[in-house]
Amino acid sequence: MNFHDAERLLGLLRQDGFIAVDDPKDADLIVFNTCSIREKAEQKFLSEVGRLRRLKKQEPSKRIAVLGCVAQQQGKALLERMPHVDYVVGPQNISKFKEVLSRESGVLIEDNPDIAFEEIPAQRAEGVSAWVNIMYGCNNFCSYCVVPYTRGRERSRPPESILREVRELVSQGYKEVTLLGQNVNSYRGGVSFPRLLEMVNSVEGLERIRFVTSHPKDLNDELINAVASLQKVCEHIHLPLQSGSDRVLRLMNRRYTYAEYLKKVEKLRAKVPEIAITTDIIAGFPTETEEDHQATLRALEEIQFDGLFGFKFSPRPMTKASKMEGQLPEEVKAERLSEILELQDRITEKKNRALEGRVLDVLVEGPSEKDPRMLTGRTRTNKIVNFYGDTPRGSLVKVRITRGLRHSLQGEVISGSPSGRHI
Ligand code: SF4
């Protein structure tokens, strides 16, 4: 979400003749687009912005702006703490950034109910896949999460506006869109989320549709059927479980039990047998016992996710969980997290190995970062595949998987590139 906010901000500033530069020393305007989902990101930002004090002193005409969730959270206090910062603008007010820039300094962190109706032309990096915001904010108030406080309540973008953007992206050569929302499957823009998927599915020239992030409680039969029947909707869902313990899930205010979650996974797999399911897990939520932690490990064994993002619990300002009794020591959180990650690594590797010999459709993204002699692309199930070949970016090729590794697959092209080599 933050990444795409930055693309929108670039698009907006470009209208005024700004261009992006690599070095803050060359910039007239330095923008920090901040994230406060975890403490670590916030601290990193504070130390980076602190470092610019000297530069600002040497060149007072340089302007420094802080956008995003830390800006929203701290507001005016940030200007007081960091007087070399000129502007503080919350994530709901990106569209008004230029207005603020016309002033000497300013803070803009008001609630913006019109956010869903604003069309800001994003400046995206070249590629085959583009993010498209379909809704903003969140109403769920999971007890650990700062998002409802920084990004406000849910607001859905009208379908016509979304479709306009998707068609425009296709005309620019993008092949895949990822529909974005904090809680994407609770989209209510006059049509249901499955209906929106159907509308996007009918955009000619588009090859693939993805969506993140889904809340398990909003995953209904209609959505499962849409994933099963709409040809362009990829067989992958990111479905954060967060914990395998019902007691912890209740404290997290997640509004599902492990059994309910599991039932939805079974339904998904029954209707879409190839589907890849990835998840998020928080290790060391306040009061989490060894028994709760074991329940999470059992859940990972039982569900066999394709991948997982694991995080140590991080107390965020304003949230209920930050004030809960029973905060765990860092070492316990770290130990539990590493057990979770190790177990999942084994599962992911096993699942990737099981793909050896299979022929999969891969959308070519371009040269691999690690080895530019190779190409990289993704399967419909969102797995990274590296292979030799000279197929242009944006092509769809059939690749036989020759090796399943922990974090990627290797393969050989069997159609689409005559120079495909075995690796
Ligand atoms: S659903 Fe996601 S964004 Fe919303 S409060 Fe829960 S964790 Fe945060």
Counting from 1 in the atom list of ligand 1, the atom nearest the Cα of 254 is 6
Query: Are 289 and 243 spatial neighbours (Cβ–Cβ below 8 Å)?
Result: no
Residues 190 and 91 in one domain: no
Lowest mean pLDDT among 281-285, 383-387, 388-392, 400-404: 388-392
Q: How confident is the model at residue 399 (pLDDT cuts 50, 70, 90)?
A: very high
Q: How confident is the model at residue 212 (pLDDT cuts 50, 70, 90)?
A: very high
Residues 281 and 142 in one domain: yes
Specify if 421 maps to a domain. Answer: no
Residue with tokens 């506006």: 161
Counting from 1 in the atom list of ligand 1, the atom nearest the Cα of 138 is 4
Would you say residue 260 has pLDDT above 70? yes
Q: Determine whether the shortest distance from the Cβ of 138 to ligand 1 is under 6 A.
A: yes
> Which 3-state string (H, E, C) describes 117-128?
HCCCCCCCCCCC
Residues 149 and 237 in one domain: yes
Q: Determine whether the shortest distance from the Cβ of 147 to ligand 1 is under 6 A.
A: yes
Distance CA 355, CA 336 (A): 29
- Closest by alpha carbon to 185, among 232, 258, 233, 135? 135
Q: Determine whether the shortest distance from the Cβ of 34 to ligand 1 is under 6 A.
A: no
- Domain-terminating residue out of 60, 89, 108: 108
Q: How confident is the model at residue 416 (pLDDT cuts 50, 70, 90)?
A: low
Q: What pLDDT sits at residue 214?
A: 97
Instruction: Report the separation in Å between the CA atom of 240 and the middle of ligand 1, taken as the mean of its atom positions.
Output: 10
Q: Mean of the pLDDT values across residues 375-390? A: 96
Q: Mean of the pLDDT values across residues 374-393? A: 96
Q: What pLDDT sits at residue 422?
A: 34
Residues 145 and 99 in one domain: no
The strand pairing partners of 209, in sequence order, are 177, 233
Q: Determine whether the shortest distance from the Cβ of 182 to ligand 1 is under 6 A.
A: yes
Q: Higher confidence at residue 37 or residue 357?
A: 357
Q: Determine whether the shortest distance from the Cβ of 145 to ligand 1 is under 6 A.
A: yes
Would you say residue 293 has pLDDT above 70? yes
Specify if 420 maps to a domain. Answer: no
Residues 136 and 22 in one domain: no
Helix (H) / strand (E) element for 351: namely helix 330-353
- Summarised one tens digit per residue, pLDDT across range 154-174 is 999 999 999 999 999 999 999
Q: Determine whether the shortest distance from the Cβ of 146 to ligand 1 is under 6 A.
A: no
Counting from 1 in the atom list of ligand 1, the atom nearest the Cα of 253 is 6
- Distances in whole angstroms, Cα of residue 301 to Cα of each of 175, 298, 374: 35, 5, 34
Specify if 64 maps to a domain. Answer: yes
How many domains are there within the chain? 3
Q: What pLDDT sits at residue 423?
A: 35
- Domain range for 167: 115-353
- Domain-terminating residue out of 46, 75, 108: 108
Please enumerate in sequence order all residues whose Cβ is within 8 A of that of 54, keeping only pairs 6 or more positions apart, or say none. Answer: none
Q: Higher confidence at residue 16 or residue 225?
A: 225
Specify if 423 maps to a domain. Answer: no
Q: Determine whether the shortest distance from the Cβ of 224 to ligand 1 is under 6 A.
A: no
The strand pairing partners of 34, in sequence order, are 68
- Closest by alpha carbon to 165, among 287, 8, 37? 8
Instruction: Report the separation in Å between the CA atom of 140 and the middle of ligand 1, taken as the mean of its atom positions.
Output: 6
Q: What pLDDT sits at residue 421?
A: 35
What CATH number should be reported for the domain holding residue 377? 2.40.50.140
Instruction: Report the separation in Å between the CA atom of 182 and the middle of ligand 1, taken as the mean of its atom positions.
Output: 7
Specify if 327 maps to a domain. Answer: yes
Q: Mean of the pLDDT values across residues 186-193? A: 96
Would you say residue 88 has pLDDT above 60? yes
- Domain-terminating residue out of 353, 368, 387: 353
Counting from 1 in the atom list of ligand 1, the atom nearest the Cα of 151 is 3
What CATH number should be reported for the domain holding residue 245? 3.80.30.20
Specify if 386 maps to a domain. Answer: yes
pTM summary value:
0.93
Distance CA 73, CA 59 (A): 28
Instruction: Report the separation in Å between the CA atom of 292 and the middle of ligand 1, taken as the mean of its atom positions.
Output: 21
Question: Counting beta carbons within 10 angstroms of the beta carbon of residue 344, is it exposed (0 to 12), middle (13 to 18) or buried (19 or more)?
Answer: buried
Would you say residue 370 has pLDDT above 90? no
Q: Determine whether the shortest distance from the Cβ of 141 to ligand 1 is under 6 A.
A: yes
Residues 41 and 23 in one domain: yes
Instruction: Name the residue type at position 258.
Output: Y
Top-ranked range on mean pLDDT: pick from 39-43, 76-80, 197-201: 197-201
Residues 338 and 265 in one domain: yes
Specify if 129 maps to a domain. Answer: yes
Residues 65 and 181 in one domain: no
Cis ω on the peptide bond leading into residue 381 (within 30° of 0)?
Answer: no
Residues 271 and 129 in one domain: yes
Q: Mean of the pLDDT values across residues 266-293? A: 98
Residue nearest to atom 8 of ligand 1 (CA): 145
Instruction: Report the separation in Å between the CA atom of 72 and the middle of ligand 1, taken as the mean of its atom positions.
Output: 17
The strand pairing partners of 396, in sequence order, are 363
Residues 336 and 369 in one domain: no
Q: What pLDDT sits at residue 125?
A: 83
Residue with tokens 């029973």: 326
Instruction: Report the separation in Å between the CA atom of 280 and the middle of ligand 1, taken as the mean of its atom positions.
Output: 12
Residue nearest to atom 6 of ligand 1 (CA): 142
Q: What pLDDT sits at residue 40?
A: 87
Q: Determine whether the shortest distance from the Cβ of 149 to ligand 1 is under 6 A.
A: no
Please enumerate in sequence order all residues whose Cβ is within 8 A of that of 204, keeping only pairs 6 or more positions apart, or say none. Answer: 170
Instruction: Name the residue type at position 26.
Output: D
Residues 42 and 26 in one domain: yes
What CATH number should be reported for the domain holding residue 7? 3.40.50.12160
Query: Are 275 and 268 spatial neighbours (Cβ–Cβ below 8 Å)?
Result: yes
Specify if 422 maps to a domain. Answer: no
Instruction: Report the separation in Å between the CA atom of 243 and the middle of ligand 1, taken as the mean of its atom positions.
Output: 14
Instruction: Report the separation in Å between the CA atom of 253 and the middle of ligand 1, taken as the mean of its atom positions.
Output: 10
Residues 27 and 92 in one domain: yes
Residue whose CB lies within 8 A of the most ligand 1 atoms, among 38, 140, 241, for a mutation test? 140
Q: How confident is the model at residue 314 (pLDDT cuts 50, 70, 90)?
A: very high
Instruction: Report the separation in Å between the CA atom of 214 and the middle of ligand 1, taken as the mean of its atom positions.
Output: 10
Q: What pLDDT sits at residue 265?
A: 98
